[in-house]
Chains A and B, each alone.
Chain A
Amino acid sequence: MAFCKMVDAVYSAIPLGWLRDLLIRKHMESCPRCQGRLASRAEVKRLFVTPAEVGTTEDLWRRISARALAADGAARRQPAPAGAAWRWAAAAAAAAVIAVSGFWLLREVQRPGFETAAVRPADRFEIAYVNVGGAPAQTFVYQPQGSDTVFVWAARNP
């Protein structure tokens, strides 16, 4: 017994919990004297309440079903999360605005006289003169075919 107590003391000094537990377990499994220091199943069983001692569970089902019903009802009655209503309202308003403005644009586009040809380009583009650095500059004017865009490139005279 003294040997076992000494072993126990030595093991207790080991800082690593898992190693200490392993060594103690190995020792106790193989040492008949230490086995005698363990409570038997019968001794332990007396300390616990057994299922047979608990008594009837008559109203347990009633309480559980009542709680289940209450939980179910609460889940059904649960209001939509805060802000959800606002989000739906904002989305509906945005959809209405898009629909109305789309309809209006469509009407405007289909009105007679809205064709691109109605906006007539200037017949002739003219530049009287171009000065660069106070002196007349070399000027190139370019207009791509079929386009209203005019490019003007001015460079200082050499």
Chain B
Amino acid sequence: MEELEIVQGCLRGSQSSCREMVEAYGNLVMSMALNVVGNRQDAEDICQETFLQVFLHLDRFDQARSFKTWLLTIVYRRSLDMIKKKRRFAQFSARARFEPAVVERGGDPHPAAPDPLPSALLKVLSPRERTALCLWANEGYTAKDISEVLACSASTARVYLFNARRKIKSSLENDHGLLQNG
């Protein structure tokens, strides 16, 4: 089903269209939230809240614009809200990434593969830079598209991208140097 058909179905109150929307965009929303907040539990909350908000306010969506960009704008705003509320995602993300998993006695000897998390290197970035970089790398967004999600000018979005790419390059080089020097 096409993007617009799904949206119109949801506007008519069709439950199957709503379900289709969640199935079509669930992974995108989840990955975006996960990349911005850095932990899975918060990302799942954001994902659910985003879709609830979408269903509630779908009539405000301008159908001449891209639904995906509108959806990602909501994810970004909900993620910022979550970060503001918690202010602890950086430590949590680092712990979840590097702490060895403790398997209790009697536990599953072959535990399932851990859920993927964004790299700890991304901690050097602000939430805005993370979002800009994620949209650029994962979705192939241009500075103009990113500016729509971040609600800023295209040149500001370009600055976020430049700064983020520079910081990441520098972190990658430091990381590489540390690995080489032991």
Contact = CB atoms under 8 A, between A and B. Distances in A.
Interface of A: 21-22, 24-25, 28, 37-39, 41, 43-55, 57, 60-61, 63-65, 67-68, 71
Interface of B: 15, 18-19, 22-23, 26-28, 30-31, 34-35, 47-48, 51-52, 55, 115-119, 121-122, 133-134, 136-138, 155-156, 158-159, 162-163, 165-166, 168-170, 172
B31 A54 contact: yes
Contacts of A49: 31, 34-35, 116-118
A63 B169 contact: no
Contacts of A37: 166, 169-170
A60 B47 contact: yes
A67 B166 contact: no
Interface centre among A49, A57, A64, A65 (most CB of B within 10 A): A49
B159 to A, nearest CB: 4
Contacts, number: 104
A48 B170 CA distance: 17
Contacts of A47: 118-119, 121-122, 137, 168
Nearest to A34: B166
A37 B162 CA distance: 10
A28 B169 CA distance: 14
Given A25-B155, A60-B48, 19 more contacts: A24-B162, A25-B162, A37-B170, A38-B169, A39-B168, A43-B169, A44-B136, A48-B119, A49-B35, A51-B28, A51-B30, A54-B34, A57-B22, A57-B26, A57-B30, A60-B26, A61-B19, A61-B22, A67-B52
Chain A contact residues, majority secondary structure: helix
B27 A51 contact: yes
A63 B48 contact: yes
A18 to B, nearest CB: 8
Nearest to B26: A57
B166 A48 contact: no
B134 A48 contact: yes
A45 B22 contact: no
A28 B118 contact: no
B173 to A, nearest CB: 9
Nearest to B120: A47
A41 B164 CA distance: 12
Identify which of A45, A46, A48, A65 gathers the most chain B CB atoms within 10 Å of its CB: A48
Contacts of A46: 119
A60 to B, nearest CB: 5
